[in-house]
Structures are given as C-alpha cells and as structure tokens.
Amino acid sequence: MSLTLYLPKDAAALALGADDIAAALTAEAAARGIELRLVRTGSRGMVWLEPLLEIEQDGLRHGFGPLEVSDVKSLFESDFTDHAKALGPVEDIPFFARQTRLTFARCGVIDPLDLNAYRAHGGMAGLERARGMAPEQIVAEVTESGLRGRGGAGFPTGIKWNTVLQAEGPQKYIVCNADEGDSGTFADRMLMEGDPFCLIEGMAIAGLAVGATRGFVYCRSEYPHAIRTFGDALEMAREACLLSESFDIELRVGAGSYVCGEETALLNSMEGKRGTVRAKPPLPAHKGFMARPTVINNVISLASVPVILAEGAAHYKSFGLGRSLGTVPLQVAGNVKHGGLFEAAFGMTIGELIHDICGGTASGRPVKAVQIGGPLGAYFPVTLFDTPLGYEECDAAGGLIGHAGIVVFDDTADMGAMARFAMEFCAVESCGTCTPCRIGAVRGMETIDRILAGDPAAPAILADLCETMRDGSLCALGGFTPYPVESALKYFPEDFTPRQEAAE
Ligand SMILES: Cc1cc2nc3c(=O)[nH]c(=O)nc-3n(C[C@H](O)[C@H](O)[C@H](O)COP(=O)(O)O)c2cc1C
C-alpha cells in the first residue's frame, strides 16, 4: 500500500516540530508496511495550525493540525479520516477560504523544489508570455496592473522599470530586496521557502523588461531556511536552463542590519562597503549597483509579476481599492489568536481582519491597538479599525501600510514603553549618516524618560524632536520613527503619565 502526505518544512512549521512529525510518520508507515511519499511543502500561512499535515481525498486536500508526535499513531489508526485533529478540507478553513491567493497560490501546496509541480500549477506561464513581448510591452503590462512596491514605499513598479529601461548603461541589474527587517513580517521568507521559482520567474521577467542580464537577491542571514531553499532552487533553475548567461541570479547574504533593507544602504552592502544610506539623486534606477542602472524591488513585488503576466494586468487590477490594486499578503503577528499570512485584495478594514478573521487576541483580552508597517509604523487604536488596508487610506489615518506586517497588542500593553522602544530601535539601527536620526533618537529616548518622570517641559521638546527627525533624515529610519511615538502619545496619553520608578 502507498500513501502520499503533505507536511510543511518552512521555518515556522519546523520551529513547531514539523521534522519530529515527519520522522514519526515515516517510522509509523514503515512499521505498518506502508510505502510513504512525504511531500515537504511550504506553509499555508495558518501558523496556529502548524505543523499542519495534509492528505488528498476526493480531489481535496484535508488537513490535520496542530499535530503532536503523539497524534501520529492514531492518525494511521483512523485512516486519516475521523480524527480529533481533523480540520476538513484546508481550503474551507475560514481563514483560508476568505483569501484571494494570487502571489501565494502555490505556497503550501507544492514541493517548493519540484519544477514540474511548479509548471503544473501555473508556473512559467508569465515568463513564457513575456518572452514573446517587447520590453516596452512588458513594462506597460506591469504599469497597467497598478502594482506598487510591497517593500514599504508603495512606488509604482512599472514606472521604476521604465526608468531603468530608458537608462543608458553597458550593464543593468535586477536586485531583489529580501532583507525583511520589519518586526512581525514574514511574507518574503514564506515565499522564498514555499515557492522560490516564483521569485526567480519574476526576476527573469524583470530582466527581460529592462534589459538586465544579472540579478541579485539580498537576503538577511537570519533566514537560513530561505537561503537554503532559494539557493537550491537557483541550482535547479540553472540545470533546467531557466537561468543562463542571458539572465542569471546570485544570492547574497546580509549580516543583519535593519538599515541594510533601505535600498541604497543595501547597494553599499552588496558592494562590500559599510551599510550606510546614499543621498538621492542619483536614483538607483540611474546609478545603482556598481553605479549601473538597477531595478530594486521587494520579494513580493517581483513574485507578483508572474501572475500579472500570466493572467493579464486587467485581472490583477480587478482586485483592490482606489490606487491600491491587486492583493497584499497581510502578515498578522503578536498577541493574536489566529496569526499568519492572509493574502487579500487591498481594501479590507483593519477591524475585519483582526476581529473577524484572526479572532482577536491570543490572551482573550480586548485588543488595544495594532502597529502596522513594522517597528516604525503608527499604532492604530480600535477607534480606527474601520480604516481600509490601502496605501492612501492608511496614510490618511496617520500611518502607513508598509510591508503589511500587523502586530496586535492587548489592553495590558504599555504604549509609553513601546514609544520609547521605537526611539531605542532607531538609535541602535541608525547608520549615522543623518544627525537628526543619529542624535535625535538618543535624545528622544531621554525625552520620553523625562515625560514618564513628570517633566512638564518634555512633551513640547519631544514634538520638536519628532519634527526635526522627520524633516532631516535621508531615509525612513529617522523619518518614520515619529509615527509610533506620536500615535502612542495621541491615542494613549494615559500611558505617558509619570511612573513611580521613573520619578525616583
Ligand atoms: C530603514 C529602511 C529599511 C527598509 N527595509 C526594507 C526591507 O527589509 N525590505 C524591503 O523590501 N524594503 C525595505 N525598505 C524599502 C527599500 O528602501 C525600497 O523602497 C524597496 O526595496 C523598493 O522595492 P519595492 O518598490 O518593490 O517596494 C526599507 C526602507 C528603509 C528606509
């Protein structure tokens, strides 16, 4: 008898014991004389259900989770049907059923290193279409789709590509930003671990569009599984002639600095220099890597391109709201009941996502706020939960959507301490180039301490300091640090009342 089972091997599933489950499944199958084919996939993104085992029955993938090793024997005894951990068809689980999976369509479904499975699930259709198009046509299709950079700034991808297409240069480059430094974000990692060929395909299309023959992926060293899986995928793509001299990709590993996610610091790091920001202009599109015209895009921006080319710009932009078109992988973490990756059309409200889909906090206490867009994103109190998740909409509410990481806090969170942490984070991570960022963050910590000690002069000083940091920093590190500080002060003034220990 033979049996096929699917089990994730992405970092989150491994951290929750997926390899132990795999070993137990293998041993149990052997003991029963069953020939087991265990397909190791990426994650579906429902982290609270990991390790999530799947089996195909009647054409549908049925799930079991979160599994413990002690469940394995009874799973076989139940013949993978009526079991306490049975979840039914995975795609019917409400968290999954309510998603629009375009970029993550294959993630958690196929073996990430199976090129045949990639093709069988729609992979390569975008690149094949692009090969029959002129560079200008590819750029026009991406522009028409409305795709905007998913790395944070939301700059239109097609316009960036067009600048590089028009730029003169003997060599052009595609650089993929996989630094993913924002707290609570994991979409880039999940994509690289779960569907690496999708990123390779997106980069190859970008190369065709702008006339680049070399690509680089800059990934943080804290992602060993992504590095391994993506590195293996590169080798396989070369063997399959998907990558060749006409377009090849090199994987570079950063040493772990938040500011190296900023595109110009990233380029310096890739060139072997200190990771400090460069003044713009020149734009990387004109003078980027080694002073050559360079496209720098986030993993998700590039991984969204294959489906745009395969299905057409009109299909992609039929999702979304206003100027935020297509889908966005919302990453929900922190104190949340059902956390994970939720790919949705732009426009869902924060409240719908956090309360209806993610089930509120893990602690069961009321939600106090969410922080959107990483450690330098604003806090949104529940009174702003009717804000739709879109670039302009989050901006109008005083924040940013950024890389779409959302961290949930319950009513016990101390927002005064969180605001101080934002300043501390900036002080630690500042590259030192801009004085308002380098010095301002240190003075910011001191000034918050003075507020917490009851100094009546300190709030006005902090307001001035925030303004100076915002206006006087080259990059968003110093420029965005005021977001969490000001939103914490505005919505949670009670968390800034003098504290006994600070006053003593
Ligand atoms: C301090 C700082 C850190 C950043 N970190 C990242 C990062 O980890 N990943 C990323 O894609 N973009 C990051 N960015 C944004 C990049 O500078 C850049 O906008 C992005 O790579 C462009 O790609 P996109 O247009 O596809 O979003 C960061 C920006 C700043 C100011």
Answer for the pair 108, 45: CB distance below 8 angstroms, yes or no.
yes
pLDDT at 502 over 70: no
Distance from CA of residue 501 to its chain's centroid? 38
Q: Is the CB of 181 under 6 A from ligand 1?
A: yes
- Assigned architecture for domain 415-503: Up-down Bundle (1.20)
> Is the Cβ atom of 445 under 6 angstroms away from ligand 1?
no
Mean pLDDT of 234-238: 98
141 within ligand 1 shell (Cβ under 6 A): no
Over residues 239-249, the pLDDT tens digits come to 999 999 999 99
pLDDT, average across residues 187-211 = 98
Q: What percent of the chain has pLDDT over 90?
A: 97
pLDDT tens by residue, 128-173: 999 999 999 999 999 999 999 999 999 999 999 999 999 999 999 9
Side chain identity, residue 402: G
Place of tokens 């993978």: 80
pLDDT interval class at 504 (50, 70, 90): low
Q: Is the pLDDT of residue 398 over 70?
A: yes
The pLDDT confidence band at residue 499, using thresholds 50, 70 and 90, is confident
Residue 498: the pLDDT is 87
Mean pLDDT of 433-460: 95
Measured from the CA of 475, which atom of ligand 1 is nearest? 31
111 touches 117 (CB < 8 A): yes
> What is the residue whose two structure tokens read 């430094």?
181
pLDDT tens readout for residues 71-98: 999 999 999 999 999 999 999 999 999 9
- Please state whether the predicted TM-score (pTM) of the whole model is above 0.85: yes
259 lines ligand 1 (CB under 6 A): yes
Q: Which CATH superfamily is domain 2-95 in?
A: Glutaredoxin (3.40.30.10)
Q: Is 261 in the pocket of ligand 1 (CB under 6 A)?
A: yes
Gap from CA of 431 to ligand 1 centroid (Å): 15
Dump pLDDT digits (tens) for 297-329.
Answer: 999 999 999 999 999 999 999 999 999 999 999
Tokens of 260: 């190296």
376, pLDDT greater than 60: yes
pLDDT of residue 465 exceeding 60, the answer is yes
Where does the pLDDT of residue 1 fall: very low under 50, low under 70, confident under 90, or very high at 90 and above?
Answer: confident
Query: What are the backbone dihedrals phi and psi of residue 254, each rounded to the nearest 5 degrees, phi first?
Result: -80, 165
Closest protein CA for atom 6 of ligand 1: 261
Ligand 1: which atom is nearest the Cα of residue 476?
Answer: 31
Q: Mention the CATH class of domain 319-410.
A: alpha beta
If you average pLDDT over residues 319-340, what whole number do you get? 98
Structural domain spans, the chain? 2-95, 115-316, 319-410, 415-503
Confidence of residue 252 (pLDDT cuts 50, 70, 90): very high
**Residue 501 confidence class, pLDDT cut points 50, 70, 90:** low
Residue 491 has pLDDT above 70, yes or no: yes
Give the tokens for residue 398. Answer: 């005083």
Question: Distance between CA atoms of 300 and 312, rounded to whole angstroms?
Answer: 17
Among candidates 106, 143, 98, which has minimal Cα distance to 123? Answer: 106
Q: What would the mean pLDDT of 429-455 be, rounded to a whole number? A: 95
* 115-316 fold: Rossmann fold (3.40.50)
- Per the CB < 8 A criterion, the answer to whether 191 and 199 are in contact is yes
Does residue 262 line the site of ligand 1, with CB under 6 A?
A: yes
The amino acid occupying position 236 is: M
Q: Give the Å distance between the CA of 56 and the centre of ligand 1.
A: 39
Ligand 1 centroid – CA 263 distance (Å): 6
**In the predicted model, what is the mean pLDDT of the chain?**
96
Token digits for 100?
Answer: 């629009």
- Reply yes or no on whether the pLDDT at 251 is more than 60: yes
Please report which residue ranges of 288-430 form alpha helices under DSSP H: 299-303, 305-311, 313-316, 350-351, 391-396, 415-429
Torsion angle defined by CA atoms of residues 27, 29, 30 and 31, in that order, rounded to the nearest 10 degrees: 90
